[in-house]
Amino acid sequence: MKKISFYCFALCIFLGLLLPQRDRPLKFLLLGWALFVCYSRVYNGVHYPGDVLGGILLGSLLAWVTSRLFRMFVNIYLLKVKRR
């Protein structure tokens, strides 16, 4: 099973949540790229729209959870480094 919409949106949302506010144009570029890839999957008949929508939702959810865990572990690591 091809999960390209899942991977595109997971990467887009993960980086969008971790990048600072000054990189807003890059965030929009990533979102445009992910939307274009998802649209092309439906347009070329490779996936049904429901498959792409499911990939978008699942990828976004996984990216949000992963970014929260990443920030938590980075903060814990930085606290340990500062204590040395």
Q: Does residue 1 surpass a pLDDT of 70?
A: no
User: How do residues 63-79 score in pLDDT, each as one tens digit?
Assistant: 999 999 999 999 888 87
The burial of 41, by beta-carbon neighbours within 10 Å (0-12 exposed, 13-18 middle, 19 or more buried), is given as buried
Q: Does residue 81 surpass a pLDDT of 80?
A: no
Q: What is the mean pLDDT of the chain?
A: 91
Backbone conformation region of residue 28, classed left if phi is above 0, alpha if psi is from -120 to 50, else beta:
alpha
Task: Write down the pTM of the prediction.
Answer: 0.85
Number of domains in the chain: 1
Range of the domain at 79: 4-83
